[in-house]
Structure 1
Amino acid sequence: MSQHVDVAIIGAGAAGVMTALKASANADLTIAVFEKDLREGANAAISSGSLAAGGTRFQREAGIEDSPEQHAADILEHSRDEAHADLVHAVCRVAPTMVEWLADELAYPIEIGLNLPRAGMAAIRLHSDVGRQGGVRLMRHLRDALGERDNVALVDGAPVVDLIGVDHVTGVVIEQNGVREEIRADTVVLAGDGFANNRELFARFCSELGEPVYAGVSTSTGDAVPWLEERRAVFANMGSCLRHGLVVADHGTRVSPSLQFYGAVWINTDGERFADEESIGYSPLAGVLFDQPGKRALMVWDDEAMAITQESELMRESIAAGAFGRARDVTELAERSRIDAKKLETALVAAPGRRQLSAPYHWAWLTHGVLTTQGGCEIDTLGRVLRDDGTPIPGLRAAGGTAVGISGPNSDGYMSGNGLLAAFGMGWIIGDDLAAAGVRRA
């Protein structure tokens, strides 16, 4: 590989691969994507692979009214982060075009997830692969597409260990087999995961979350944080995480966030319902569980709810792990959960307007976990990294886990799909801009 490329991308996750795909539309550009370890994957690969977009043809064909503006409004209502409204609107605007491009240009088998309702969404807008194989299928498909681009090199086993240049970034330093090499580039794109698997950084920025179960990938070590600090980049929302309150205790797998929309209930160890199951997303649920006795809760659902959700990737993984129990009636559920039977009977009564569960019951003990961080460096709507004086650092862009997300200053602001929306959306925007600008980089 040449010692100079037009675009050097750090990370082959959602943001990195999308940036490369879109930038490669300009055949005159040479692009290199440097990845630590494809075997370890990326957080996108262990996600559900659900793509949030408002105003797609898939929604219209299903009779669903939605728009990018409504999508952005829903996100901002939850994040309460008007400071980053421009980023939210930017990624929501490109989301429907991006989803349709995946289907039409990359032949990805996508559909609107009619059985994927989520808290806080004014309309069903999660799009998933047919068969619900999740993020691993999506990332494999995108990387295969990238492999067909003659002007892109995906270099595995080549972690970036530093950036070249302080006031103006002009390349990266990679390490392969213990040997370091400088790669010059007109534009460097930071597209790595966050820092949730870096104990020092997590304790520094997210100490109030305690020590939750970590359910992300091992490579989320926040390598770019010190590079950015050296270059006077501004950081925002560093205490915000994608938390998960639907982690099965003692197993580490997760259950479907759709279950509560089909009657599933949450019961604490005292036998009490403690939240409106349909009104709270799985990230803020983690904070609610943190305050419950034992930091856990019993989730109960029935055969009908199981039949609707069991083909999702999350449920298949939990089923394979033996993470669920099954009780023929309330008496057995009380024996298995060690919660008083009379309290369980009361707790299982459906709220007004909600579906009543019926025996036999499925159940699992839930605890709180963290999948990835949502804070990062400040960027503008073209992904340019901003310094503390508000000016962009020449030659440097960021997206994905390295950049500030769209979920606000704390974990309660996360809405389902926000992570992939921010990563793919900003990757799309950066890649388009690089392709249009050609070899003239900023």
Structure 2
Amino acid sequence: MSEPADWDIEVDVVVVGGGACGVMTALRAAQDPDLVVAVLEKSTREGCNAAISSGSLAAGGTRFQRAAGVDDSPEQHARDILALSHDEEWAHIVHALCAVAPDVVEWLADELGYPIEIGLDMPRAGMSVPRLHADIGRLGGGRLMAHLRAALDRMPHVAFVDESPVVGVVVDGGTVVGVETVQNGQRQRVRADAVVLASDGFAASAELLHRHCPDIGDPFYGGVSTSTGDATRWLEPLGATFRNMAACLRSGLVVVDRGTRVSPALQFNGAVLVSTDGRRFTDEEAHGYSSMAGILREQPGERAAMIWDATAMATVRETEMMRDCLAAGAISDLPDVAAVGGVLGLTEQETARALAPLPDRRPLVAPFHLAWVTHGVLTTQGGVVVDTDGRVLDAHGDPVPGLYAGGGTVCGLAGPSSDGYSSGNGLLSALGFGWIIGNALAGAR
């Protein structure tokens, strides 16, 4: 936190972070042609978590769902999230984000021309109906971020400034009035009527992760290096309130020694998890990939073999995750049960027993595919408390004047535990708050 001083630059809105939330905030704020907006990005070379995600957008009640015969609504979407997160205290935020999610998806498709389809082949634990919307061709979050930033480049009154890490906020009499940034090695002060903190969380900070999330152990880190919790450090002196700081977006589908991830749809298409001591230790369909991480951590060697067949492979092969796995040589092809047993160190009979389907599940049929998976952490889910307009709240529940937050800076939707994460929650929160904050800023004049 810095004190007021002479200004090097003055704008109407300064957005800290050029990821999904920051870019969406700027795009929506730019509806007002009289607003001058600056987006300060730490480093596009290092990337953002949205860019390395699957790019799946969770929304209930879209025209894409209706066209596919899927009956859904924002209210049903919110109920599903809260049933998994058990976080009724945050229900007002969940409902606010689910309410705007269909508008975000349809605006991306209709106004920005982004190629979206409903992922009928993307079942997930905790979703009562298919509601993940993915890009046609399944190229992932990198495609989404490139599309959003290209749209931002067409806005004449928006400046996207790369390699411009923000190092603090500037406060005058309790009001946030700007930020301090570093450009080309020189510090600069940027004055703004509204400051929006849209940076990633703190999963790349070993110190913050060990302080707030000691129970996750020492997982593989699959996020970006820029998630260092900078905004958390700036907000603490302002008296901002934080919640659910122990929750993370984790993954129990990280391929050992590769760092890629197998598709979360595999476990809903018959895939089986077998521990190194030959046990089928869980009902694979009963867990999302975040909660699966905690289960994997408890297994011998903190790993297990995931085994699936050609039918399952056909449903996921053309996704970004599986293309990455195949390119990395992360998947073994095995002709029969005996070959699987050879990898697992089991007899053919023991292997057949481990692969036997649970009740009402289809049996796997040779040939098989196998990948050794472990647990990882992708992003944090704890963060600052905001209201339904994205305004940062202090310890008394009052808005900090001049300050908004979204993306990884804000408390997410997983609840107090990583087990409460629902697929698509990350982009729901990031794009949803960007939409809400940007619209509010555009309507402020």
Cα distance in 2 for partners of 1:210, 1:341 equals: 34
Query: Matches of 2:378 and 2:210 in 1, distance apart?
Result: 15
Contact kept, 8 Å, 2:124 with 2:265, in 1: the verdict is: yes
Q: Which one-letter code corresponds to 1:77 in the other structure?
A: A
The one of 144, 156, 170 aligned to 2:150: 144
1:110 to 112, 116, 126: 116
State the one-letter code of the partner of 1:44. A
Contact 2:78–2:95 (8 Å) recurs in 1: yes
**Mapped pair 1:212 → 2:219:** yes
SS at match of 1:229: helix
Matched, 1:156 2:166: no
Select which of 1, 14, 32 maps to 2:20.
14
Counterpart contact for 1:190–1:398, Cα < 8 Å? yes
How far does residue 114 in structure 1 lie from its aligned partner after superposition? 1.1
1:273 aligns to 2:280 (yes or no)? yes
Paired position in structure 2 for 1:291: 298
The 5 Å alignment of 1:306-385 reads 306-385=313-392
Aligned counterparts of 1:352 and 1:336: Cα–Cα separation in 2: 26
Whether the 8 Å contact between 2:19 and 2:50 is mirrored in structure 1 is yes
- The separation in 2 between residues aligned to 1:58 and 1:42, in whole angstroms, is 27
Moved over 6 A (4+): none
1:276 to partner: Cα distance: 1.3
Distance 1:286 1:72 in 2: 24
| CA-atom RMSD in angstroms | 1.0
What is the match of residue 180 of structure 1? 187
1:126-275 alignment, distance < 5 Å: 126-165=132-171, 167-275=174-282
Gaps of 5+ in 1: none
What is the identity, as a one-letter code, of the residue corresponding to 2:348?
Answer: A
For 2:357 and 2:214, how far apart are their aligned partners in 1? 37
- 2: distance between equivalents of 1:343 and 1:91? 48
Q: 1:139-193 deviations in whole A, cap 9, x for unaligned? A: 0000000000111000001000010006110000010121000000000000000
| 1:2 CA displacement | 7.0
**Pairing 1:95–2:95 present:** no
Question: Scaled by the length of structure 2, what TM-score is found?
Answer: 0.97
Shift of 1:267: 1.0
Task: Provide the C-alpha distance between the structure 2 equivalents of 1:192 and 1:157, rounded to a whole number of angstroms.
Answer: 14
8 Å Cα contact 1:272-1:343 kept in structure 2: no
Q: Distance in 1 between matches of 2:345 and 2:20?
A: 43
TM-score normalised by structure 1 residue count: 0.98
Shift of 1:423: 0.6
Contact preservation (8 Å) 2:278, 2:344: no
Question: In the alignment, what sits opposite 2:403?
Answer: 396
Partners in 1 of 2:233 and 2:27 — Cα distance? 28
Deviations 1:206-247 (A, max 9, x none): 111111000001110001111101101000011100000000
Counterpart of 2:3 in structure 1 is none
The 8 Å contact of residues 196 and 221 in structure 1, kept in 2 or not, is answered as yes
Q: How many residues align?
A: 438
Consecutive unaligned residues in structure 2, runs of 5 or more: 1-6
Query: How many angstroms apart in 2 are the aligned matches of 1:115 and 1:39?
Result: 32
CA distance in 1, matches of 2:348, 2:304: 16
Q: Deviations over 1:266-306 (max 9, x none)?
A: 11112121111112100000011111111111100011111
SS at match of 1:21: helix
Deviation string, structure 1 residues 237-268 (Cα, Å, up to 9, x no partner): 11100000000011110000001111111111
- SS of structure 2 residue aligned to 1:143: helix
**Distance in 1 of aligned mates of 2:346 and 2:49:** 36
